Amino acid sequence: MTDAFPSSRLSAMQAAWVIARRDFLAILFSRAFFFFLLGPLFPLAVGGLAGSIGGQVQREATTNLVALAMAPDDSARMTAAANAIGPQLAGAVPNFIPVAPGNPRAILAQQGAGYAAVVSGTPAAPHLTGPETELVQWRGAIALVAAQAEGKAQVAFAPVSIEAVQQTTAAARSDRIRTAQAGQLLLFLLTMLLAGMVLSNLVEEKANKIIEILAAAIPMDAVFMGKLFAMLGVSFVGIAVWGAGAGLFLLANGAAASELPAPALGWPLFIALGIAYFAMAYLLLGALFLTIGALASTVREVQTLSMPVTMLQLLVFFLAAYALTAPGSTLELGAIVFPLSSPFAMLARAALNEAIWPHLLALAWQGLCVLTITRAGATLFKRRVMKSGPAGKSKRLWSALPRDVSSRRA
């Protein structure tokens, strides 16, 4: 009847693999995962729409149209002067729209014209009418244009030869900080987007009442590990799909490669470390989420818990981002040592610093923290969750149990 197995138990890795394989495939082929993949499209679409509307509103709200209410000759001279010096001053000169001379206030009040200000009078004595902010903005430029039109201040621009460089030594660090910030932001967004999936994972297991079967067959540490790695695998699939989508979009739009300055360790190593730190950030946060999710008994509890957890994520990100401004400080060291902020702080370091060994050390430390949190979560789960029967009832029964006995028949 019974099988003769080569060994009486699965190794921790084998056990975790059984869980990871099931979870990975179940999530990957679920309808929910398809919608999850589409998830980033919604904020992007909303963001694009909001940006487009905002830009339109901004364009409507801020205009550089200035009505030129002068005699036709004067208007022509002013316009010619503006055209002569405008290109050299990059937006500092307003767009003049010649209009029939008249009351400036009436011109400003014309519906649909949208003039920021009105210049009347003559080039020798221009008169600017408009709101205070517009007067401050255009006063100097109009004086310069009028002087040019009058021939009183012929502006002659000396030829300047130019040479574009990618980077200067002096600016290298400040440029790389941009790369570090971008890396941290991307890491944060991805972990934020993906780690939430873990939170409800064990609640579903409990709802399905599978958890007791898993716990009876394999150690809870292996269950937790399997679930974490399944979710990590799923997140890599998500990133691959989103990355491919973003790449295709950029290619289709003829966009150039990143304009970000190269990180200190070079792009290939920086990207490799980015993947490693994403995995660690995800596993660390996932282990924490899994523990919290395991202790919650309903989806509602998970939702309640998700808010402080999201706040914690934000705090960790802010800590790492702030530490970026103080390299070599105790604050940076703290951000590197604190497990949850460590991947963010170290990714920034990869952008700024050329040393590799701290990354090996940091990855080992983060891995150790993942194991520790997972084990602690599994222990807590066994202690707090796997109870049976209502405590009150068992207590009542216990106190009701008599010490003397009597037969029913006797």
Partner 1 sequence: MLTEAVLAMREPNPPSPVRPLAIEARGLVKRFDQTVAVDGIDIAVPEGAIYGVLGPNGAGKTTTLRMLLGIIDPDEGVRRVFGHDRPHDVARLIGYLPEERGLYPTMKCDEAIAFLGALRGLPLGEGRTRGRELLERHGMGHAIDRQIRQLSKGMAQTVQLLGTLVHRPRLVVFDEPFSGLDAINQGKLEVLIRDLAAEGATVIFSTHVIHHAERLCDDVAIIAGGKVPYAGSVDAARDRIPAQVRLETARGDGPWRKALPADARHDAKEGGNHFWYFPLPESGAEALLRALIEGEAGVLSLSIERAGLHDAFVAIAGEAAARALDETKEETRR
- Where do contacts with partner 1 occur on this chain (CB under 8 A)? 1-3, 5, 7-10, 14-15, 18, 22, 26, 30, 208-210, 212-219, 382-383, 386-391, 393-398, 400-410
Q: Alpha-carbon distance 178 to 175, whole Å?
A: 5
Range list of β-strands (E), 34-178 = 65-68, 95-98, 117-121, 126-129
Q: Minimum Å distance from CB 288 to partner 1?
A: 23
Q: Minimum Å distance from CB 308 to partner 1?
A: 24
Q: Alpha-carbon distance 19 to 29, whole Å?
A: 16
Nearer to partner 1, 177 or 215 (CB): 215
What residue type is 129 in one-letter code? T
Q: Minimum Å distance from CB 349 to partner 1?
A: 41
Nearer to partner 1, 257 or 401 (CB): 401
Nearer to partner 1, 25 or 356 (CB): 25
Nearer to partner 1, 300 or 395 (CB): 395
Q: Minimum Å distance from CB 286 to partner 1?
A: 20
Contact between 125 and 114 (Cβ < 8 Å): no
Q: Alpha-carbon distance 98 to 73, whole Å?
A: 11
Nearer to partner 1, 300 or 396 (CB): 396
Q: Minimum Å distance from CB 408 to partner 1?
A: 5
Q: Minimum Å distance from CB 322 to partner 1?
A: 41
Q: Alpha-carbon distance 116 to 93, whole Å?
A: 13
DSSP state letters, 226-275: HHHHHHHHHHHHHHHHHHHHHHHHHHHTTPPSP-SPPPTT-HHHHHHHHH
CB atoms within 10 A of CB 24: 19
Nearer to partner 1, 220 or 323 (CB): 220
